[in-house]
Structure 1
Amino acid sequence: MNGQQKIDDGASQCPRQISSDPLSVESLVQRHENRLFLLQRLNGLRQQIQSLEQEVSDIECMVNSLPYAPAGMAYGHGRRAAPCHFHVAATAGAGGIALPLAVGIVHPLDTVRTTMQAAASTHGFSHSLRSLGWRGLSRGFVLSLAWASPQGAIRMASYEASKEVLLDKFYFKALGIAVSAITADFASSVVKVPRELITQRMQTGQYQSSWQAVRSIFREEGIAGFFRGYASTASRDAPFMLLLFLSYEQFKSWKIRLTFSQQGPAEIFAPWSDAETVLWGGISGTLAAWLTTPFDVIKTRIMTSQTPISFHDALRSVGPAGLFRGAGPRSAWWFCVSSIFFASYERLRATLQQHVDPV
């Protein structure tokens, strides 16, 4: 009965036919009434759109906790979704553990890549591997792990905090993610640049120990020496982090849409498998690494040079043919790093959340 009444009311409120004389008083009144009616309908549509946008925002807020939920917060019919936001201590702690874990496992591959890019002549993967030997592959291992922990903590805490604020500020969510990724990279660069500089000099055999490297760099160049190549590093890592996080977040979005279309809305919050996170994280890292290899080659040349050189000098010494030198090992390295990192980070973040903010 109520439904029929609404239909009748809607029919009675439809725009009326305008009389044949457009200049008559009746015609002008009808035009005015029709205009008011259309404005009212338009306002109703705007309210519906705002309501739908709010529902989408609420879903995205809950999806922020995917792919893993804290224990006791399993998803499904009749169960609560995970909390919208993770505590900064959980994100920082997870990043501080996941990054050194990922970097440490594939450190030998990074050493080969650095050796290839720093060489004055073109050396292939097998030649660089033979020249290093088993002991050479572990150069800079301890220092890289030790410094990767604060780097990962600062990066992920900054990224999640920035994203939480900026996603509500930008109409295009991808723009908020991009700005958050670049912000996180610059925040962590205070640790990242000295770490890479010392590690790469040890990987190329310039120093035998981290203490010798720190003492020598400080004596010869001062504090500024630890940040040599900062501009080239930023030019590489800003687009790299943008591509990495944009592609990873996009894979998560595709997963949600696919699950929604095939299994229904009740299943979009189902925990993801480790294999999915490993695959998506690895592909994201590979894509970002391959496209930013030219910047990485130039950065490596600047950092490993015996004397300070400019960006232009490094570019000229490499030449067009050398811009993608080491792209294969670098992409493989980042596939391993990203797959291990994101899988570990998501698990650790969910686990730590239970301790810093019990639910």
Structure 2
Amino acid sequence: MPSTASESDAGVQQRVRSAIKTLGVGGFAGFTSCVILQPFDLLKTRMQQEHGYLRDFPESRTQRLKRNFRQVIQVDGWRGLWRGTVPTIVRNVPGVAAYFYTINELRWLVAVWQVPLLSVHGATQVATSQKSSKLARLSTTGNLLTGAAARVAIGFFLNPITMVKARYESSHYARTAYPSIASSLRAIYQEAGFSGFFRGFSATALRDAPYAGLYLAVYEQTKQSLGRLTLQDRSGNAWVVSASGLTAGTLATIFTQPFDILKTRMQTTPSSMLNMPAEKIGIVAMTRHVLATDGIGAFADGLGLRCARKAASGMIAWTIFEFGNRWYSS
């Protein structure tokens, strides 16, 4: 009996250390990617917020990107490219840490419980040992569902900060109107009440659920395939991990692009520009507005920037997560 109790205590301590490790490495991964890649987010938001440019101005997307870049530099200097970094850090550092922790624990539970259609037979030992940085191995369906569930849950709780981030990056709102995160949250509440904090969440969920599910499924499948090709451990090869993250990020981004446009428009377009109350700005109304003002081509706005940002972010985050866990465990 004492031996059993001792083993149980050791197992609990191991799980606690694993949770702290996962949160710490995930938070560092989120911080690194959001600081390095913030200019991509800002320029993407500036392009996606524009109304009528595809219809009224003969500019290519490359010309629009250059124009927005010049405008940011002229108004705010080079530092202006990092406008919105603070709310990005506030959202992404705990968000990425919580996502990695949630996905790690959720996959571990699914693997241990051997959920039909989601688990892989024989992967329980990998999930239970927690001695390496490997995620518990699941089926493709398991990858899709656990990735989607974790991403949407985290996105819901962080949507108020996502709203602030979008307003910081948008040129529709003056810097003086949002001098701090606290004042930004107050302004959003005064504009649309409590529901204003969750404007755009419907589009965010429709973007994040398939994005996270597809990303995790493609990431794991690519990592296994490349690992077999290189005849090396799929989680111990930097090239395999980075290439898998790059591939997964690009494919998932392209598939979910229309919902990213709707999310940006919903969160950055003043109600006065839409001629409707703030509480009426929903995903259906915004879809109609985008089609009426810019046509279906608007759903490709910022796709290149988003692909570059998401692919690079995924590559950075998952490389740090995989090797951070590996280093910490050694």
Q: Equivalent residue for 1:125?
A: 65
Q: Equivalent residue for 2:236?
A: 271
In the alignment, the residues of structure 1 paired with residue 23 and residue 15 of structure 2 have an alpha-carbon distance, to the nearest angstrom, of: 17
In the alignment, the residues of structure 1 paired with residue 260 and residue 174 of structure 2 have an alpha-carbon distance, to the nearest angstrom, of: 21
In the alignment, the residues of structure 2 paired with residue 135 and residue 184 of structure 1 have an alpha-carbon distance, to the nearest angstrom, of: 33
Residue 236 to residue 269, structure 1, CA distance change in 2 (3 Å): closer
Identity %: 27
1:333 aligns with 2:309: yes
- Which of 287, 299, 302 aligns to 2:263? It is 299
Cα deviation for residue 325 of structure 1 reads 1.2
- Which of 270, 284, 287 aligns to 1:312? It is 284
Deviations 1:216-264 (A, max 9, x none): 11233333221111111101110111111111111121133334xxx5x
Deviations 1:113-146 (A, max 9, x none): 0110011133621121112222431211112112
In the alignment, the residues of structure 1 paired with residue 185 and residue 211 of structure 2 have an alpha-carbon distance, to the nearest angstrom, of: 27
Q: Equivalent residue for 1:285?
A: 249
Greater helix share, structure number: 2
In the alignment, the residues of structure 2 paired with residue 334 and residue 151 of structure 1 have an alpha-carbon distance, to the nearest angstrom, of: 15
Using the TM superposition, name which of 158-167 and 216-225 deviates more.
216-225
Paired residue type of 1:254: S
1:159 aligns with 2:103: yes
Whether contact under 8 Å (2:156, 2:201) holds in the other structure is: no
Q: Equivalent residue for 1:66?
A: none
In the alignment, the residues of structure 2 paired with residue 86 and residue 127 of structure 1 have an alpha-carbon distance, to the nearest angstrom, of: 49
Residue 269 to residue 218, structure 1, CA distance change in 2 (3 Å): closer
**Residues 16-35 of structure 1: pairs in structure 2 closer than 5 A:** none
**Residues 64-75 of structure 1: pairs in structure 2 closer than 5 A:** none
The TM-score with structure 1 as length reference comes to 0.68
1:94 aligns with 2:25: yes
Which runs of at least 4 in structure 1 moved beyond 3 Å after TM superposition? 83-86, 267-270, 351-354
1:322 aligns with 2:322: no
Whether contact under 8 Å (1:140, 1:202) holds in the other structure is: yes
Q: Equivalent residue for 1:217?
A: 188
1:200 aligns with 2:131: no
1:348 aligns with 2:324: yes
1:177 aligns with 2:147: no
Whether contact under 8 Å (1:247, 1:284) holds in the other structure is: yes
Residue 330 to residue 180, structure 1, CA distance change in 2 (3 Å): same
1:150 aligns with 2:150: no
**Residues 226-237 of structure 1: pairs in structure 2 closer than 5 A:** 226-237=197-208
Paired residue type of 2:91: W
CA RMSD of aligned residues (A): 2.3
Whether contact under 8 Å (1:159, 1:181) holds in the other structure is: yes
Cα deviation for residue 111 of structure 1 reads 0.4
SS in 1 for 2:82: coil
In the alignment, the residues of structure 2 paired with residue 160 and residue 270 of structure 1 have an alpha-carbon distance, to the nearest angstrom, of: 15
Pairs aligned (count): 265
Q: Which runs of 5 or more residues in structure 2 are unaligned?
A: 1-13, 54-60, 119-138, 272-277
Cα deviation for residue 197 of structure 1 reads 1.3
Deviations 1:255-299 (A, max 9, x none): 33334xxx5xxx5478212x3322221221111111111110011
In the alignment, the residues of structure 2 paired with residue 184 and residue 116 of structure 1 have an alpha-carbon distance, to the nearest angstrom, of: 29
Whether contact under 8 Å (1:160, 1:180) holds in the other structure is: no
Larger radius of gyration: 1
**Residues 80-91 of structure 1: pairs in structure 2 closer than 5 A:** 87-91=18-22
Deviations 1:315-359 (A, max 9, x none): 1222212111111111111121111111111122223446xxxxx
The TM-score with structure 2 as length reference comes to 0.74
Q: Which runs of 5 or more residues in structure 1 are unaligned?
A: 1-82, 355-359
In the alignment, the residues of structure 2 paired with residue 84 and residue 333 of structure 1 have an alpha-carbon distance, to the nearest angstrom, of: 33
Whether contact under 8 Å (1:218, 1:226) holds in the other structure is: yes
In the alignment, the residues of structure 1 paired with residue 23 and residue 150 of structure 2 have an alpha-carbon distance, to the nearest angstrom, of: 12
Cα deviation for residue 94 of structure 1 reads 1.5
In the alignment, the residues of structure 2 paired with residue 235 and residue 89 of structure 1 have an alpha-carbon distance, to the nearest angstrom, of: 30
